[in-house]
Structure 1
Amino acid sequence: MNLKKTLVALAAVATFSTAASAEQLSVAATPVPHAELLEFVKPALAEQGVELDVKVFTDYVQPNIQVDQKRMDANFFQHQPYLDEFNDGRGTNLVTVTGVHVEPFGAYSSKIESLDELKEGAVVAIPNDPTNGGRALLLLQKAGLITLKDESKITATPRDIADNPKDLDFKELEAATLPRILNQVDLALINTNYALEAGLNPSEDALVIEGSESPYVNILVARPDNKDSEAMQKLANALKSDAVKDFIKEKYEGAVVPAF
């Protein structure tokens, strides 16, 4: 074999060896901004020997089930109150690896331009899962539209409303469907990831929105048996890098806020 062929063969072996030694890490994520952030860090992780496989989901249940059943290594879509409620309700034991960002929760309407225009008996749609539904009600309380029996209860439902001066009619619906029914209700409380997917700009279109002090930090989640693995920690560090912070600020313009 001549020298040129030998070098080509050695290069091929080296490439194969590198690919074979790369550790695969599968992560379930909702499309925006979670999957986008994961795709952004994928090249940097590849350089560190981690092959990131991102699977996109559009609901808030399957990503946790997939990780719990060891079909996926981790997920990235939820905040701590939702994870706590899910673990309690499903008997799972998923754990937080690290916090990454906050998506300020907002109220949107295609019928009014200000909450002052909300009429008596107006139909208000909120997420039907306990933590995001409670989050929506806390935001409406902050806006002065309702008062809760327990003014700090993060899992409040419409049954926990003590004062509803405008007799608002609450509809509890799956979070992912809320942007699609926006024109059918007077007001909808929408998670920012779904708002972004629907082409809404939270910083411009929301009639009221959480501030940067929101406690609902979105987290990378895994299992106790793999949360401290080298590959998982590399992913956690990549998601909290200066490059990701700059990417979030430039791409989402306040609709997503770094939490590190």
Structure 2
Amino acid sequence: MRKNIKLTALAAVTTALALGVTACGSSSDPAAAGSGGGKADENKPLIVAASPSPHADILNYVKDNLAAKEGLNLEVKEFTDYVLPNTATQQGSVGANYFQHKPYLDDFNKKNGTTIVPVVNVHLEPLGLYSKKVKSLADIKAGQTVAVPNDTTNEGRALQLLAANNLITLKEGVGTNAKLSDITDKKGLEFKELEAATVPRALNDVDAAVINGNYALEADLKPAQDALALEKAEGNPYANFLAVKEGSQDDPRIKKLAKLLNSDEVKKFIQDKYQGSVIPAFGTPQS
């Protein structure tokens, strides 16, 4: 999921939602969509809203290779924004979505009064520390400059990554919204704040840079091979998950899909296809 999200104006969202739901051509019956409005019919399709990649790719792998064996009729609807999947799930035109992480969902629910809940973690698109001037973490010394994304979510993630690798020290208890002012020991490093999408282009001008997984791929970087450090999947709050409207967690179709998304087959698919740029992050989402 890309993190530099720009929410559209309310009027635009309302118009887009009307078009998006019409385009889906799906039933508005909550029970049929699996949104908790009634007892779900296991034989009816489970419609899942997803970002095109890697989310829809992973779901389509499940649909084409695993779903039939579990008796799951799965449909995948692609969305290119980060508002409609949640509003469609809340309203019942889709039964679930797969595109977001917990910090984004928490903020969305708070701002929109929605009741979307995570079901199961699936993958992480890890931030990584990259450099064209040094070859290891040990080569990063006082006086050097590190570029970091300047938006709240990504900068916090970047600083946590640097702290986890002992390049800086953060205030005790600082969480995912850490800022440069929360650094208690820069260990002589200088920082350059840039828009997340532009950080890869700064690699030649700085000593190291923290880059989002999707932007690393666009810059022909291979996270598993080229990163000096990568976020860990275990316990990471930025794992992307399957989500539903509260009350739909016990829909048998949701349970089947959750099981398949955390299967050995999906793990191998993610590892083989994305080669470390997307990594499995299975398990129960953080509360």
What is the match of residue 36 of structure 1? 57
Write the letter of the residue equivalent to 2:181. R
| 1:24/1:257 CA distance change after superposition, 3 Å | closer
1:211 counterpart letter in structure 2: K
Q: How far apart are residue 103 of structure 1 and its match?
A: 3.9
Structure 1 equivalent of residue 128 of structure 2: 106
Shift of 1:37: 1.0
Please list, as runs of the form range in 1=range in 2, the aligned pairs for 1:66-215 lying within 5 A after superposition: 66-68=88-90, 70=92, 72-115=94-137, 116-117=139-140, 120=143, 122-126=145-149, 128-130=151-153, 132-171=154-193, 173-174=195-196, 177-178=197-198, 181-183=201-203, 186=206, 187-196=208-217, 198-215=219-236
Native 8 Å contact 1:149 1:160 kept in 2:
yes
Which AA in structure 2 matches 1:202? P
Post-superposition shift, 1:172? 5.2
Aligned-partner residue type, residue 246 of structure 1: K
Change (3 A) 1:121 1:73: farther
Kindly indicate whether the alpha-carbon contact (under 8 Å) linking 2:56 and 2:76 is maintained by their aligned counterparts in 1: no
Q: Which amino acid aligns with 2:182?
A: D
Alignment coverage as a number of residue pairs: 235
TM-score, normalised by the number of residues in structure 1? 0.72
Distance 2:82 2:255 in 1: 24
Aligned amino acid, residue 39 of structure 1: N
Q: Percent identity?
A: 37
Per-residue CA distance 1:12-39 (angstroms, 9 max, x = gap)? xxxxxxxxx641503122513x222112
Whole-Å Cα distance in 1 between the matches of residues 212 and 219 of structure 2? 11
Q: CA deviation at 1:234?
A: 2.7
CA contact (8 A) 2:222 2:276 kept: no
Q: Quote the Cα distance in structure 2 between the aligned partners of 1:179 and 1:69.
A: 37
The 1:245–1:55 alpha-carbon spacing in structure 2 relative to 1, beyond 3 Å, is: same
Match of 1:51 among 53, 65, 74: 74
Find the residue that maps to 1:259 and give its secondary structure. strand
Check the 8 A contact 2:72/2:256 in 1, yes or no: no
Shift in CA distance, 135/65, structure 1 to aligned 2, threshold 3 Å: farther
Post-superposition offset of 1:110? 4.3
TM (norm. structure 2) is 0.66
**Shift of residue 246, structure 1, vs aligned partner:** 2.3
Report Cα offsets for 1:110-144 as digits up to 9, x if no partner. 454444346736251226143x4322111111222
| Residues 180/222 of structure 1: CA separation in 2 closer, same or farther (3 Å cut) | farther
Q: Where does residue 12 of structure 2 map in the other structure?
A: none
Which residue in 2 is equivalent to 1:257?
Answer: 280
Q: Could you list the per-position Cα deviations for residues 59-102 of structure 1 after superposition, in whole angstroms to 9, with x for gaps in the alignment? A: 65554455445554433233334433443455432201112234
Q: Matched residue of 1:215: which SS? A: coil
Partners of 2:146 and 2:189 within 8 A in 1: no
Do the aligned residues in 2 keep the contact of 1:134 with 1:157 (CA within 8 Å)? yes
Q: Distance in 1 between matches of 2:220 and 2:87?
A: 29
The amino acid across from 1:41 in the alignment is V
| Distance across 2 between alignment mates of 1:99 and 1:219 | 4
- When you count helix as a share of all residues, which structure comes out higher? 1
- Given that residues 103 and 257 in structure 1 are in contact (C-alpha distance below 8 angstroms), is that contact kept between their aligned partners in structure 2? no
C-alpha distance after superposition, 1:193-215 (max 9, x if no partner): 44345542211111211335342
TM alignment of 1:230-249, pairs within 5 A: 230-249=252-271
Distance 1:106-1:62 versus aligned 2 partners, 3 A rule:
farther
